[in-house]
Amino acid sequence: MSARLEADTPPHRYTADLAAHIESRWQARWDADGRYETPDPAGSGSPEHSSAGPKLFVMDMFPYPSGSGLHVGHPLGYIATDVYVRFKRMCGFNVLYTMGFDAFGLPAEEHARQTGQHPRINTEANIDNMRRQLARLGLGHDKRRSIATTDVDYYRWTQWIFLQIFNSWFDPDAGRARPVSELIDEYESGRRQPPGGRRWEDLGERARRELVDSQRLAYVADAPVNWCPALGTVLANEEVTNEGRSERGNHEVFKRPLKQWMMRITAYADRLLEDLDRLDWPDSVKTMQRNWIGRSEGALISFKTATTRPGPQHVIDVFTTRPDTLFGTTYMVLAPEHPRVDELTADAWPAGTPGSWTAGAATPRDAVAVYRARAAELSDADRSDSKTGVYVGCDVRVPFSDAPVPVFVADYVLMGYGTGAVMGVPGEDQRDREFAEAYGLPVIRTVQPPPEHPDELAYTGDGPSINSAFLDGLDMAASKALILERLQEAGTGSPKVNYRLRDWNFSRQRYWGEPIPIVFDEHGPVALPEDMLPLELPELTDWAPRALARDSEPEPPLGRVTDWVDVEADLSGGDGLRRYRRELNTMPQWAGSCWYYLRYLDPRNDDSLVDPDVERYWMADPEPGAVGGVDLYVGGVEHAVLHLLYARFWHKVLYDLGHVSGLEPFKRLINQGYIQAYAFKDARGVYVPADEVEGTLQEGFTHDGRPVARELGKMGKSLKNSVTPDDMYASYGADTLRMYEMFMGPIDQDRPWETRSVVGSQRVLQRVWRNIVDEETGELRVVDEGPDDELLRVLHRTIDGVRSDMEGMRFNTAIAKLTELNNDLTKRASGAPREVADVVIRMLAPLVPHFAEELWHRLHGSGAGSVTQAGFPAADPALLVADTVEVPVQVNGKVRGRVTLAADADAEFAVAAALAEPNVAAHVGGRELRKQLYVPGRMITLVV
């Protein structure tokens, strides 16, 4: 392509070759000048670029440095933030804008396992490649501030934050995290008593440690992992097939409990929920977070067993959001994993047990054992839609009514939600209704349904309570209030807020992650002191998978580094050297991405994760009620819940402990859309390379002469439809690519990639170029006389529109307005007036920075400063008001003509002018006007 400089292409046309030349020249110059380095009020900023303007912190979600490189879909959000940042800089803002890499993760470890090469080598090569690809786009990042989560200097502070969390507990009275040292002080001074009537002084070392450890924000608990002995590793849920085997190698996988680090995010559930209201985020993301937290108000109700057997009476708690339906309870269900199932299960079927309740087993123990074994094999998704269960041979009594009801084990009740036990109310809950039908259980309605409500369905709406003793006649809200009061009086129940959110499992049985800075002594976990950070990953020389016996214990890769596992250290300063065993799990990939925005602020600080003055400058928001945080955060919706929730959680902990100044990490969030691409399948259903397909939608598409079917999907290797930025640079240049991606549609919308359309953006730039530079001689074409009045007004209307579009990140319409203005210039035979060219170049600068910088220097001479520092044009308000306006005239709702009026014409004059217009007069036809309206400057409406 580049070699095809045909004889008839003018030598100074804006072609891909010229663009490449311009782009590399200005990129080198900008780098040499430190053009995009942002000064700080303190710390390492360079004073010569200091700016008095207001601060703005703009950030993209940083990428994982994948080995396969970029396609044109990846940088969409980066281009958008870059355009916005350049615009705000030209408006006088001091903008912080950089890019880092989320570089721990599975693919690098997988690559290491296959090649034997250390993941750091591969990771750093990928980062270098990605930096190169992004730099080629001309993104105005402060490169000095870039970090990778795998940098030892970075993960040192990730570990430091872990220790802060470990050394904190959540004080429910204060509603915030406090240092564990304060908790211990309170125990020691007697201001706080251990639970269960024990005394701190009487507790041994182990009991004290357990008491404190159980309240930490980071704590150890047993949680099930997917242990694959054949691979000698633990697998993520995504790596396990539906059949419960390993994706790689199809080996057996076992669920095994393993000691895991948990983060007590549930303590923050209410704050995470409430503060959502204060964020400028898409409603969809807020809704997803609300649903994920899943707060529901209800009651905890205790049911006592009705057994006549000797021995202790058992009590089972259920959670319900409908305590008002208590009197409709006709059975109880426990999840198969419920820990009390064994003690409740009877030895023999009570007399008269229906056959359908026994699953054909000889005893309840047999039936329950078979049922539980089957449930354990099934993944949650496979638990069938039809309701099944078995009777455990034991009954419980419904509070107040004292009616005995049977207890079942059924897999439609989940151990992970509420108490893992529910009261079955088939009258008011459709799931319970289906179970009751299957097992012939009675149905008692406790809310009077409306007459049209079908008999066979549960009724979940509001209405007067019935069959409910003292609740009868009350509506749902009143019934709930009264039953809660009575339950509390009777000591058999209490109000309860339940959450779907669960504590965050923070352990990964992986090598390529941050080591957790914890060691264990005989009593439990001990934090490494801060001065022992960073705790560096040890070398792992043996990458080969090792097959282990079926009954082996799960073991993280770090367990293989035998000289690292056991450590002798003096941790308490004074006790002398003691032996400890290291934590072998590493942190999840989320850890590094939970706080990287803070490190951008002060990336080389060795004394703290961020200097407090610097943090306040960039993160504090002086507005009353403001939450602080990054001013604009742009990234994909796939992080709507986990990343954004975990980061908010960490930020709130850091806030509680006084390390950051605001409540929230990200004040404003925008989800950029995805670039989709057409993919083509042949008759066998196999994808063929999209760039080899010929034909059109009308004629049909073919590959190698055979017909193929088109579909729209994610751009990527699997659909063979990737288009790389490098292809676009070669054919059009980076500026054209930037402009096309911004022109395709609104930033938050998905859109299909169409390579053939890219030329449109190049043509626009070529026309702009041609209006300023002579394609034959390379000389400037601009004329010195100023624009005429009409052009001047068009120019200022354009400035006004482009400015507000840029502010609102509506780059597609900003480009349309600039194109329109340029088309207007093109129609005038002479070159652009110098004054107009100057303004157009400045307006284009955020979108196509190299192109604008080049024209700026051609226009103003080599001594001119950078266009990136020129002011963004501002419209003259006097030129925005036209003295005459053309106004459409509607007769009975149809536009029948237009009249030109003075801008300040009154209604009477406007209507008179409208009636004078022949076509309007013809449609009025001399009839009487029933109504006449003039919306100044917009519309004249006549009704006859």
Partner RNA sequence: GCGGACGUGGCGGAAUCUGGCAGACGCGCUGGGUUUAGGUCCCAGUACCCACCAGGGUGUGGGGGUUCGAAUCCCCCCGUCCGCACCA
CB nearer to RNA: pick between 550 and 756: 756
CB nearer to RNA: pick between 433 and 560: 433
- HSE (side-chain half, CA atoms, 13 Å) at 680: 19
CB nearer to RNA: pick between 412 and 729: 412
Q: Which residues contact 345 (CB under 8 A, 6 or more apart)?
A: 364, 365, 368, 392, 393, 394
Give the residue among 677, 794, 668, 819 at the shortest CA–CA distance from 739. Answer: 819
CB nearer to RNA: pick between 438 and 561: 438
Instruction: Say if residues 690 and 679 touch (Cβ distance below 8 Å).
Output: yes
For 351, 383, 408, the CA distances from 378, given in Å and listed in that order, are 32, 6, 19
Residue 96 structure tokens: 């912080």
CB nearer to RNA: pick between 125 and 935: 935
Shortest approach of RNA to residue 296 CB, angstroms? 4
Instruction: Say if residues 246 and 230 touch (Cβ distance below 8 Å).
Output: yes
Q: Which residues pair with 179 in a beta bridge?
A: 168
For 58, 402, 814, the CA distances from 92, given in Å and listed in that order, are 15, 74, 20
CB nearer to RNA: pick between 149 and 446: 446
CB nearer to RNA: pick between 165 and 739: 739
Q: How far apart are CA 165 and CA 653, in angstroms?
A: 7
Residue 923 structure tokens: 């449609």
Instruction: Say if residues 929 and 920 touch (Cβ distance below 8 Å).
Output: no
Q: How far apart are CA 705 and CA 223, in angstroms?
A: 56
CB nearer to RNA: pick between 287 and 552: 287
Shortest approach of RNA to residue 129 CB, angstroms? 29
Residue appearing with tokens 């003292």? 470
Q: How far apart are CA 756 and CA 777, in angstroms?
A: 30
Shortest approach of RNA to residue 727 CB, angstroms? 17
Shortest approach of RNA to residue 318 CB, angstroms? 7
Residue appearing with tokens 């209405």? 463
Q: What element of type H or E holds 162? A: helix 152-166
Q: How far apart are CA 775 and CA 713, in angstroms?
A: 41
Q: How far apart are CA 590 and CA 865, in angstroms?
A: 43
Residue appearing with tokens 């994948």? 66
DSSP state, 366?
H
What percent helix, strand, coil does the chain show, rounded to 5? 40, 20, 40
Residue 49 structure tokens: 């670029």
Instruction: Say if residues 681 and 688 touch (Cβ distance below 8 Å).
Output: yes
Residue 131 structure tokens: 């930096």
Shortest approach of RNA to residue 163 CB, angstroms? 31
Shortest approach of RNA to residue 634 CB, angstroms? 17
Shortest approach of RNA to residue 667 CB, angstroms? 19
Residue 607 structure tokens: 């004394």
CB nearer to RNA: pick between 466 and 759: 759
CB nearer to RNA: pick between 226 and 761: 761
CB nearer to RNA: pick between 229 and 424: 424
Q: What are phi and psi of 532, to 5 degrees?
A: -95, 0
Shortest approach of RNA to residue 764 CB, angstroms? 6
Shortest approach of RNA to residue 39 CB, angstroms? 34
Shortest approach of RNA to residue 697 CB, angstroms? 6
CB nearer to RNA: pick between 533 and 765: 765
Shortest approach of RNA to residue 291 CB, angstroms? 6
- HSE (side-chain half, CA atoms, 13 Å) at 666: 32
Instruction: Say if residues 464 and 483 touch (Cβ distance below 8 Å).
Output: no
Instruction: Say if residues 873 and 839 touch (Cβ distance below 8 Å).
Output: yes
Q: Which residues contact 788 (CB under 8 A, 6 or more apart)?
A: none
Q: Residue 909: left if φ>0, alpha if ψ -120 to 50, beta else—which one? A: alpha
CB nearer to RNA: pick between 179 and 745: 745
Q: How many secondary structure helices (H) and strands (E) does the chain include? A: 27, 31
CB nearer to RNA: pick between 263 and 901: 901
Shortest approach of RNA to residue 134 CB, angstroms? 24
Shortest approach of RNA to residue 805 CB, angstroms? 8
Helix (H, G, I), strand (E, B) or coil at 627: coil
CB nearer to RNA: pick between 246 and 498: 498
SS3 readout for 411-431: CCCCCCCCCCEEEECCCCCHH
CB nearer to RNA: pick between 216 and 896: 896
CB nearer to RNA: pick between 287 and 356: 287
SS3 readout for 682-698: CCCCCEECHHHCEEECC
Shortest approach of RNA to residue 771 CB, angstroms? 10
Shortest approach of RNA to residue 409 CB, angstroms? 12
Shortest approach of RNA to residue 712 CB, angstroms? 9
Q: Are strands 931-935 and 566-569 parallel, antiparallel or unpaired?
A: unpaired
Alpha carbon 45 to chain centroid, angstroms: 31
User: In 10 A of CB 865, how many CB atoms?
Assistant: 10
Shortest approach of RNA to residue 779 CB, angstroms? 18
